[in-house]
Amino acid sequence: MREVKNCKKCNMIFTTNDGSLFCKKCQIEEDRTFKLIRDYLYDNPGTSVHDLSIKFNISVRRIEEYIRNGRFDIT
């Protein structure tokens, strides 16, 4: 079933049928950011959320969301 939603990032209206939170454009950016951080963590295990936030210029809340969703393996 298709749903109409507001993108969590740019607030644009989009439709989704897989529960996505972001429009297509932002989803691509999200995936790219996520991969960058994941690769960075792979090379630098034990990096703190705070340091990641500064390094990738994204909010601590966003990183914590990634962690909550089980996408990163940091403590």
Task: Please select the residue that binds Zn ion; options are 5, 9, 33, 74, rule is CB under 5 A.
Answer: 9
3-state secondary structure of 71: coil
Q: For residue 1, what are its two tokens? A: 């079933």
Asked if residue 52 lies in contact with residue 37, where contact means CB atoms within 8 angstroms, the answer is: yes
**Touching Zn ion, residues 14-53 (CB under 5 A):** 23, 26
Q: Which helix (H) or strand (E) holds 70?
A: none
Nearest residue to 38 (alpha-carbon basis) of 51, 52, 59, 24: 52
Only segment of 1-9, 33-41, 50-58, 63-71 that touches Zn ion (CB under 5 A)? 1-9
Which CB atom, from 20 or from 47, has the smaller least distance to Zn ion? 20
What is the smallest separation between the CB atom of 54 and Zn ion, expressed in angstroms? Answer: 24
Task: Please select the residue that binds Zn ion; options are 6, 10, 55, 60, rule is CB under 5 A.
Answer: 10
Q: For residue 68, what are its two tokens? A: 């909550």
What is the smallest separation between the CB atom of 59 and Zn ion, expressed in angstroms? Answer: 16
